[in-house]
Amino acid sequence: MTMDSREGENFQLFFKHDYDLASSVNVVSGITVLDLLYSDSGIHGNSASEDMGSSRCDLPGRNKSEDRSEATFSFELHNASKIKDTQYSPPCYIRGLPWKIMIIPSHNRTQIAGKSLGFFLQCNAECESKNWSCMAVAELRLLSFNPDQEPHKRKIKHLFNVKENDWGFSYFLPWSEIAEPEKGYLKNDCLIFEVHVIAEAPHGVLWDSKKHTGYVGLKNQGATCYMNSLLQTLFFTNQLRKAVYQMPTEYDDASKSVALALQRVFYELQFSSSPVGTKKLTKSFGWDTIDSFMQHDVQEFLRVLLDKLECKMKGTSVEGTVPKLFEGKMLSYIKCKNIEVTSKRTETFYDIQLSVKGNKNIYESFKNYIAPETLDGDNKYDAGEEYGLQDAEKGVIFLSFPPVLHLHLMRFQYDPVTDCSVKFNDRFEFDDELFLDSYLAEREETDAAYRLHAVLVHSGDNHNGHYVVYINPLLDGKWCKFDDDVVSCCTKTEAIEHNYGGSDDEISLNDKQNSNAYMLVYIRVSEIPKVLETIIETDIPSELIERLDEERRIEMIRKAERTDQTMYFTIQIVLEDSFEGHSAAGYFDPDNVQYKTFRAKKTDTVGSLLGTICDSFRVPLAKMRIWPLVQRRQSMRMIYFDFNNEMDSALSHIIDTTSTWTIFLEVLDADVVQTIDQFDPRHDILIFMKYFDPAQNRLNYIGYSQYCLDTRLSDLANEVRFKLGLSDRIELNIYEELGPNSINKLTNANDSIEYSLNVSGCDIQGYILIFEKKIVDDKLTLPTCDDYFLDLLYKVEVTFVDKNNPNDAGFPLELSQRHTYEQMASAVAKKIDADPNKIQFFKCQSYKDLPGNPLSCSYDGNLKDLLAYNKPKSSKKLFYQKIQMNINDLESKRQFKCNVVSPDYREEKELILYVDKNDTVADLIEEASKHVEFSENSTRRLRLVEIVNFKLLPIPNENLPLENLQYNNETNYIHHRSLRIEEVAPEELEIREDEMLIPVSHFWKEIYNSFGIPFFIKAKNGEILGDLQARMQKKLNVPQKEWEKYKFILITNSRADYISDDHIINLNDFRVDENHVDGPLPYIGLEHVNKSHKRSHNSCLEKSIKIYN
């Protein structure tokens, strides 16, 4: 029997559940496995056989399909001591891929016996695809014939792919240990290797999710796994899906309607048989490409999406669906211990954030969530004027839980020391069932009993990672794993226990050290029939189905057209008319030429193409000739094509291009009697002629013709004089145009064309010769052809962009790279009608299209040096701004970019100030007052504020020298540092001893997700937060309904605590040392959704997520 044989008596495929051989009771032909293992003749009773090995593969109690996720298979290696080459077991199919045991003999002189065995697991080795991958864990075992001896085993975890399709140990066990009789590994020169494999569904190979699970996945756009996981969860919340279908969208804009895009995704998830795309959905969000490559938080996306759906459903038949499904209520309270005073407030929630750190399981986390906090000491509760400060308890209790309960496990938390988020991978247990009656103030009509519906899992750290979701769609115990476009069946243990987090002591696909549950979805038992009601096609509005079917039909037509395009060539024909008026190098300007375009099938013949051309131009074949154009080095050249001999050849055999073929069509006028001359490349040459006119500073096209190779240059010069009407006594210089910026002077007019151009019978044709008068006028800017082409070499098009207008596309100017600063400034000033001394220029940042450092007016380099800062192969760009003062005066001052804030702290505009370098903060404020527009009732008092990461720093003293400010125009955007000029409010003109200005900043969900415009508010020691909130609301002009959604948190030193409107303001929480200048001040955080559509220059670093439409 050969190694790869899968037939015959010596190869048996049988089943095994556990690697403990003594416990196996599987029977083959009436003989137990134990009988086979411990018989003298070996497993197959053929110890004398020279066969190298046999194999078995099984998974008892489960489907024997090749698509299973887990299997144990083994390989019996005969004549083990004699093998010299790598040995392979027959394949065992897991997840549709072939897996083999691979044994490699190795010799190591440093080992005592000098010999060992390598043991590897190989996957899909013969696959030709370059993109496949499959994550798997396995235990490699060398079994013992001794029933009392444990197998020698080692574990592996690997992402198998085309580059690393095998994984294991090159030194699994030394031969000296293998041969020890008491261990029983070797019997009759036979070894048994076994592998237990658990594999995920593969990526990059044919995996039919619909066939294996009944469901399909979602395509990942780059970093949208978080969105895909959540969309699958919402899709299987059937009651929500049905409501989404019912939203009226028949008149919505297909590109901007979030509702329609979500309907489309849900419909395709329900009825499609292949992975569903989400690009139309993210486009409806108003996202651009970069948004799809930014990792976001799944819980944050859930809140934003549900808020958007709730708004879209208002005024429709499904209004209120979102709160009915997801909204619960809780009671926040403060209860005095010594008096009968209690403050209560009812709040709604769509999700509950449960702490992971310090809690073993979900019940402990709920217990800590409702555990009361004692208010005493400096943190006593202000019970009003009658009772004053009192010891009290502050806490929450749940009033009701929703039908669908979203639990956010707070694995990411803010670390005040590092000012960033940290992920906790601690073990945190949760169950398939959840009972929450004990956390309610009063029992509800039905028990608060829940079943686990989905587990969203995050793998990675706080900087990057990947989301997948495990869902039990019908709550029937049949779990599936949704990993973007791949859906696979999984066990309940894989979905739940393997995602607890913590240590990784057992064999599993999840790396528990950084892969764990992040969000849980439970469905109330009493609501399961409603929430998971079956949705059939008749539940979907017929007009929606018709619209989506029509969209799909149109897409299929477009797809067919794109496929059709690969079967055609595009033929571009250019005529001599396009050469006239072209004054630069080459035949014509390819960017502006008007081509006559045809489409021809790649299977069409040359003859059929020529027939089409003849019909289109109404010219007989005898009066035309085609000259294909090809790129040679940096210039375009024509090649000779003998179409008479290629009439029956297919275009695909002639055209050396994938899509477009450009042709110069030589055509005789209709009134010309004769036919086109025959052309023999061995004796003839095609030449195009130009004339350089130094007075007009341009090249003029003067025609082309066919010449014999032995024609002298002097004959061509005579022809040019005749065409231009020049005297025979005027001598001409002749140049060959070699490329866009290169010419070669032909010195001897008596030489032949063949000798001068160094050509002989070459297929390359269409040589360009340039003629000029020998007489030179030195007063001209470019007196000779050499000068003209040298100028072309240095000519560059530069786009000048208004630095202060972010939407300015700029204007192009054609300049010379040899231009000085003065020449460039004069050219720009002429274009924009400005004084060149009142324009400031800025270099382009290296590899960014952003303004960099200002350019000094005394710059002594040339334009070429300035453009070196642009990206290679990109358009050349410089920035400018008009200024009010002379550029020389400006450069003696220091520039400060400050933001001026509106009275409601919603908008900022940039203000650029110029002050002397030795000025103070007071001088900067005085200069700002000249440019700020004060309101009618203004205090006309300004102050300077420093901001870092959307948080406020201490207000700088007005006597502070400006050089002591940690400020740099060019690097502040990197460190998120800025200056702001703001008006002092009337109530802030006087600050008493028991009052102070305290900072307030905006954030969403996590403290590091700061955004918006922070501000100061005057607070009084001992007042309650509710009074301060009223002043904040008035200052920000926020509507009451929106303000009710705001939450408040106190951030002091290393603590971050949520506070209620009964919280007593203690100014000591906000006081800092006088020398505190580097970091943000303690502040009050306002937690709310960022509804600003404006993206700052730090948007790629801000982690807040927005839906714009």
Q: Would you state the pLDDT for residue 89?
A: 93
Sequence ranges of the chain with CATH classification 2.60.210.10: 21-199
Q: What is the pLDDT of residues 977-986, one digit of tens each?
A: 789 998 888 8
Q: What share of the chain is helix, strand, coil (3-state, %, to 5)?
A: 25, 35, 45
209-320+537-560: what fold?
Cathepsin B; Chain A (3.90.70)
| Cα angle for residues 472, 475, 477 (degrees, 5° grid) | 70
Catalytically active residues are: 225, 466
CATH 2.60.210.10 holds for 21-199: yes
What 3-state class would DSSP assign to 358?
coil
Sign of the four-CA dihedral 861, 862, 865, 869 = positive
Residue 187 and residue 145 in contact, taking contact as beta carbons nearer than 8 Å = yes
Residue 524 and residue 405 in contact, taking contact as beta carbons nearer than 8 Å = yes
Determine the CATH number of domain 790-890: 3.10.20.90
Sign of the four-CA dihedral 274, 276, 279, 284 = positive
Sequence ranges of the chain with CATH classification 3.90.70.10: 209-320+537-560, 328-531
DSSP code of 1065? P
What 3-state class would DSSP assign to 422?
strand
DSSP code of 637? E
What residues contact 18, with CB distance under 8 A and at least 6 apart? 24, 72
Q: Give me the residue label for tokens 């009701």.
A: 400
| Cα angle for residues 107, 111, 117 (degrees, 5° grid) | 45
CATH 2.40.30.10 holds for 572-671+678-774: no
Determine the CATH number of domain 328-531: 3.90.70.10
Output the six-digit token pair for 494.
């894989």
Residue 400 and residue 328 in contact, taking contact as beta carbons nearer than 8 Å = yes
Residue 190 and residue 76 in contact, taking contact as beta carbons nearer than 8 Å = yes
Residue from 431, 471, 481 nearest 451 by CA? 431
Sequence ranges of the chain with CATH classification 3.10.20.90: 572-671+678-774, 790-890, 894-1087
The whole model's pTM is what? 0.57
Within the chain, which residues score under 70 in pLDDT?
1-66, 107-114, 288-297, 413-421, 462-463, 503-513, 633, 657-659, 760-762, 846-848, 869-874, 966-976, 1053-1054, 1073-1079, 1091-1109
Output the six-digit token pair for 596.
């006559």
Residue 105 and residue 84 in contact, taking contact as beta carbons nearer than 8 Å = yes
Output the six-digit token pair for 115.
């010999």
* Strand partners for 616: none
Output the six-digit token pair for 884.
């009010």
CA dihedral 806, 807, 813, 815 (to 10 degrees): 30
CATH 3.40.50.12660 holds for 894-1087: no
Burial (Cβ within 10 Å: 0-12, 13-18, ≥19) of residue 232: buried
Residue type, 580: E
Q: Would you state the pLDDT for residue 3?
A: 34
CA dihedral 41, 47, 49, 54 (to 10 degrees): 90
Residue from 224, 360, 369, 242 nearest 309 by CA? 242
E strand map for 929-1071:
942-948, 951-952, 977-983, 995-1004, 1006-1020, 1047-1052, 1055-1059
Number of helices and strands (H, E) in the chain? 26, 54
C-alpha 687/C-alpha 702 separation (Å) is 11
C-alpha 900/C-alpha 597 separation (Å) is 56
DSSP code of 676? P
